Chains A and B, each alone.
Chain A
């Protein structure tokens, strides 16, 4: 479970352009559930993810993951507990290395890196098995450099790499936004399978309301750093959501 307490954060602090985004935000994300964050550009979705991951610093507040306070941890220290898939499929992989080399790197996440050989024969079958579950034929391309894969294949690999060590929390930052609709659908389905299979607590940002509803258990709408809607995904339809989206946003605008 992720608990965010009294989170405050401003951009351009101490200048005339200071922009207060979060002002005492409280949020609890339930364990083993997928929570979708939606909202217009600038509402704070991505910033919230960056704050959780430690890519940007908060001004005030606490972030507690599975009972451990992670507020003071550096980005790379938090990374051991988190998995993250970005919008850009290149962000989660090393493009000039092969699929096998990328998998082997992800498999060492959070461990000590030493002067032992990275690729161990005994692990290759396990990697192949993990890739086979994706159904993309990647298990036959272990020695292909990742830069030669398609966006969808690359993003699926990023997803596998981010979840391989079963993180306490998975952050999906519009991870299908750069893909064509068909590929996007497929990656979303694979995402759902993976997070259900390994019971991974997930926060997903999406601009696609339909996806957000279909693939999440809970839906949270943000506007200017405030939660303006918080519902179970099955209790609301896409049309209702659209209606609220429009009304609420007009109201606060």
Chain B
């Protein structure tokens, strides 16, 4: 049981990086980006290619981030320049990446056990905590910069970004690049963790990312203190622990995907339907009505 928790936390930290990437597109830019399904294994395959060619694991991991940004760039070009719908753009890039992934090493499965990995540097848990924290802090401070705020405003209200004299497409491109860079990085970390890369490792990874974000969202819902990035990491860890326990209790690993999807459906429908029911109660209670009156009183 103890080792189950440790494994779950370690994998949760890796998926936390994935979730922080998806956070940028799903929550901030409000784009459902399926590129992720391709860029996660893409990061892993690029890492495998580089590390088996003799490059050291740190450089290989960092380069997988860079290649991931290229995957995001392709999707961004498809939908900002060629005007293909974002969802389809992601699917197209993901499909291209499937072939690219197979081409990089010429096979669908590559063992990495005999190669150096980033976890040789120290205890796995500590290494992952440090990496996840560095990314979290960097991302948080990026979102406080002038460019970071333009990224948020692009997802929030594009016409404001235009009125500020900026082309909002540039910020969509930037967001998609960063997001897929992080996703590829997470893929590279996962490859080293499990000791192999596999062409199927990206399938339905978007559901894992969304489940993490959505579970994370339920933490500290009422307060603004906990940053979305922290929530994403915590959500990923909780998701992994829940999944680990479920398997420990006898759930088939192959059933886990359906369970993840059901978790996402449950949380999303709760947010869409049930929270609205609560709102209606509030309106009936007169609280919201009174809220709307207040400004008029203040205006007088």
Asked if B195 lies at the interface with its beta carbon under 8 angstroms from chain A, I say no
Q: B299 within 8 Å of A by Cβ?
A: yes
Measured CB to CB, the residues of A under 8 A from B are: 74-77, 79-80, 82-84, 86, 90-97, 101, 104-106, 108-110, 113-119, 136-137, 149-153, 162, 180, 182-183, 186
Residues in B whose Cβ lies below 8 Å from that of A76: 162, 165-167
Partner-binding segment picked from B53-61, B254-262, B290-298: B290-298
Inter-chain contacts of B144 with A (CB < 8 A): 117-119
The distance in angstroms between the C-alpha atoms of A94 and B298, with both chains bound, is 23
With most chain A CB atoms within 10 A of its CB, the pick from B162, B164, B299 is B299
Q: A109-B163, A137-B298, A183-B299 are in contact. List 18 more A-B contacts (CB 8 A).
A: A79-B162, A80-B165, A83-B163, A94-B156, A95-B157, A105-B160, A113-B166, A114-B147, A115-B147, A118-B145, A118-B146, A118-B148, A118-B149, A150-B294, A162-B163, A182-B296, A182-B299, A182-B300
Whether the Cβ atoms of B163 and A84 lie closer than 8 Å is: yes
Binding site for A on B (CB under 8 A): 142, 144-150, 152-153, 156-157, 159-160, 162-167, 292, 294-296, 298-300
**Is B295's CB under 8 angstroms from A152's CB?**
yes
On whether A92 and B163 interact (CB within 8 A), knowing A118-B144, A149-B295, the answer reads yes
CB within 8 Å for A91 and B296 given contacts A113-B146, A114-B145, A118-B149: no
Please give, as numbers and ranges, the residues of chain B lying within 8 Å of A96 by CB-CB distance. Answer: 152, 156
Closest B-chain residue to A86, C-beta based?
B159
Decide yes or no: A79 and B156 within 8 Å by CB, A115-B147, A118-B145, A119-B144 being known contacts.
Answer: no
12 A-B pairs (CB sep. < 8 Å): A77-B165, A91-B160, A94-B152, A97-B153, A105-B150, A106-B164, A109-B164, A113-B146, A117-B144, A136-B299, A137-B298, A182-B299
User: A84 to B157, alpha carbons, bound, how many Å?
Assistant: 14
Q: Which of B162, B163, B299 has the most CB of A within 10 A?
A: B163
- Known contacts A92-B163, A162-B163; A150/B149 CB under 8 A: no
Residues of A within 8 A of B296 (CB): 150, 152, 180, 182-183
Query: Do A91 and B295 have beta carbons less than 8 Å apart?
Result: no
Q: Across the interface, which residues of A come within 8 angstroms of B162, CB to CB?
A: 75-76, 79
Task: Tell me whether A110 and B163 are in contact (CB under 8 A).
Answer: no
CA distance A75 to B164 in the complex (A): 10
Q: Give Cα distance in the complex from A114 to B165, angstroms.
A: 14
Chain B: minimal CB distance from A7 (Å) = 22
Kindly state the separation between the CA atoms of A226 and B234 in the bound complex, as whole angstroms: 62
A97 adjacent to B152 (CB under 8 Å): yes
A94 to B167, alpha carbons, bound, how many Å?
16
Q: Is the beta-carbon distance between A97 and B149 smaller than 8 angstroms?
A: yes
